[in-house]
Amino acid sequence: MITHNPYLTGAPLADTKAPGGPIENRWTTRTFEAKLVNPANKRRKTIIVVGTGLAGGSAAATLGEQGYRVLQFCFQDSPRRAHSIAAQGGINAAKNYRNDGDSVYRLFHDTIKGGDYRARESNVHRLAEISTRIIDQCVAQGVPFAREYGGLLDNRSFGGTQVSRTFYARGQTGQQLLLGAYQALMRQVDAGTVELHARHEMLDLIIADGVARGVVVRDLVTGAIVSHTADAVVLATGGYANIYFLSTNAMGSNITAAWRAHRHGAYFANPCFTQIHPTCIPPSGDHQSKLTLMSESLRNDGRVWVPDRPGDDRPPADIPERERDYFLERRYPAYGNLVPRDIASRAAKNVCDEGRGVGPGGLGVYLDFAEAMTRLGPEAVKAKYANLFTMYERITGENPYRVPMRIYPAVHYTMGGLWVDYDLQSTVPGLFVIGEANFSDHGANRLGASALMQGLADGYFVLPTTIGDYLARATAAEIPATAIEAAENRVTATIDRLLSVRGDRTADHFHRRLGHIMWEYCGMERTEAGLRKAAELVPALRAEFWSRVDVPGSGTDLNQSLERAGRVADFLELAELMVIDALHRAESAGGHFRAESQTADGEAARDDENFAYVAAWEWNGPGLPPTLHKEALEFEYAHPTTRSYT
């Protein structure tokens, strides 16, 4: 529970791995300074990779290709079922194919600005540099990017930019990129460099002499608890948006692997920075267990509007143009419907709060393609968005070729995650964190089409360089049997505790209640009073969980109720840290909107004097306040200004 002193303040934190000098030379400098592992020694090094999405799949494939021995784990039955496969709209790269003024520096600047100046310059510039190589890599793998009539790769625009830099494969970009990484991965499995363990969930980290040396996993089919050791561990386990219960994430997405690492000393950075996506199918009732994303790419041609008059429930075709409010175009004329996600989401929420929302409960705005149908023709619209239109019609029963889509914001992505340095290493030596599981590249708001870019940059290009430097410098040591035994005992104790409660409520019951608390008080708009309320409700709910949860069955066989309960238990702990982080950050930045910190016209008001830092939290034990470590953010190239899209 939050008291007057909900956290302790620790020593400042610094990223000691990022080189100095001109920003355009820093990654080149780091790669040259990194020590190398010779081929003969690589065969003697074992690396564990947890997760098989874009970050984990590309990392394992590349490390295997380099000659390391890789042990890879995922809780799905196939790497192809990682949540990365659900990404729709595209992947950014500064290749300037449209000759519209794009460049590495412009992508860097757009990303820093889009993140509301809460990201590191060095990391973001490296991401922009590497982006150009990712496209070449994926084309060589056979990824079927959309092409123009003459055969050149096509581009489209995404929110927060005024150039077309997003490469795409209709609305299936994540699927096609993941299949490319999967093919590269399975080539290494066949070659014997990667040993793949599907249907295994990481439940603890093995620490020996303060260094990450392995993981404890549970075989989700047999229930067996097994330990695996290595020279380094890589977490590529995605984000924690499912803490809200209703989100666009896959049902299995969770925080367990990262949270168990946090309990061993891996700092958790900026947990309150969560992204609300403006283009989702609105909820239709209490029966839902997840929400469905409609790609941001639809806002290239779809116009967002609501009726001028509150309570106007006429069919959209009966509302004349003069009685419609194209509110994004009105408020943000320079970017229009392609403002960044946090801006568009709050604007949609505001018009719905005014009583001008459409659909059941007034929780929706129109995304209308009538103008595009007239300008481009139905066949051209179909060529760009057919699978998205089909998905929408199957879910809602409405034909978007004839009537506007109805959309509403929903939780989508988490910019917070385990703290890592420039080398992607956490505060636990030997533990590397890549993709959405770390915090490093997006600041307080991720621009669309940047998640796939970061995952593949980390996996294909950054980690294989930096982890080699770590392995070349690390001293090989035997792992004490006591360290392995202690980790296994922790896992067994948690499972036994969950099974022994024998209460009267399912884990889903508590997850749904937690999601309601987090959405209500730590969602799109946050207030001090609401956060303090959440700080009382979350610990109480966690206590009730441990006294009333019912987990049927045993731990020695397939038990999906046990899987769910363990993940919900970790969400309950993370929720308290998220609330503390949101309460301490008394400013608005990107997806973190504090109602007390806004401009006269309702826009987010940053406080650069007091909050231009990464908040990295240290775990001190169950029930104890965490310790806050601040990493100061310095801006030499993208100087903080008022974030305007007008």
Contact in structure between 444 and 457 (CB atoms under 8 Å): no
Pairing of strands 69-73, 46-50: parallel
Question: Is a pLDDT exceeding 80 seen at residue 137?
Answer: yes
Question: Concatenated DSSP letters for 349-414?
Answer: HHHHHTT---SGGG--EEEE-HHHHHHH-HHHHHHHHHHHHHHHHHHHS--TTTS-EEEEEEEEEE
Indicate the pLDDT class of residue 288, thresholds 50, 70 and 90. confident
DSSP H/E element including 140:
helix 121-141
Q: What is the pLDDT of residue 623?
A: 83
Predicted pLDDT of residue 4? 59
Q: What percent of the chain clears pLDDT 70, i.e. is strictly above it? A: 99
Give the distance between the most distant pair of CA atoms in the chain.
75
What pLDDT band is residue 109 in, cutting at 50, 70 and 90?
very high
Q: Was domain 482-632 assigned CATH 1.20.58.100?
A: yes
Task: Check residue 331 and give its pLDDT.
Answer: 95
Reply yes or no on whether the pLDDT at 324 is more than 80: yes
Tell me the C-alpha distance between 249 and 291, whole Å. Answer: 8
Q: What is the mean pLDDT of residues 557-580?
A: 98
341 noted as active-site residue: yes
Phi, psi of 164 (to 5 degrees): -105, 105
Q: Which of 80, 165, 341, 564 is labelled catalytic?
A: 341
In this model, does residue 582 exceed pLDDT 60? yes
3-class secondary structure, 255 = coil
| Mean pLDDT computed over every residue of the chain | 96
Residue range(s) in the chain whose domain bears CATH number 1.20.58.100: 482-632
Cβ 412 vs Cβ 255: under 8 Å: no
Instruction: Specify whether the CB–CB gap between 218 and 198 falls below 8 A.
Output: no
Token pair recorded at residue 442: 């997006």
Render pLDDT for 140-150 as a digit per residue (tens, 0 to 9): 999 999 999 88
217-233 tens-digit pLDDT? 999 999 999 999 999 99
Secondary structure (3-state) at 202 = strand
Alpha-carbon distances of 638 from 59, 112, 114, 548, rounded to whole Å: 30, 7, 11, 51
For 400-456, write each residue's pLDDT tens digit.
999 999 999 999 999 999 999 999 999 999 999 999 999 999 999 999 999 999 999
Q: Is the per-residue pLDDT at 573 higher than 90?
A: yes
Q: Summarize pLDDT for 482-514 with one digit per residue, the tens.
A: 999 999 999 999 999 999 999 999 999 999 999
- For domain 277-411, the CATH architecture is Alpha-Beta Complex (3.90)
The neighbouring-strand residues paired with 235 are: 50, 433
Q: Are 440 and 243 a contacting pair, CB within 8 Å?
A: no
Express each pLDDT in 590-645 by its tens digit: 999 999 999 998 899 999 999 999 999 999 998 899 999 999 999 999 999 988 88
The predicted pLDDT at position 203 comes to 98
H or E element at residue 215: strand 211-219
Start and end residues for every CATH 3.90.700.10 domain found in the chain: 277-411
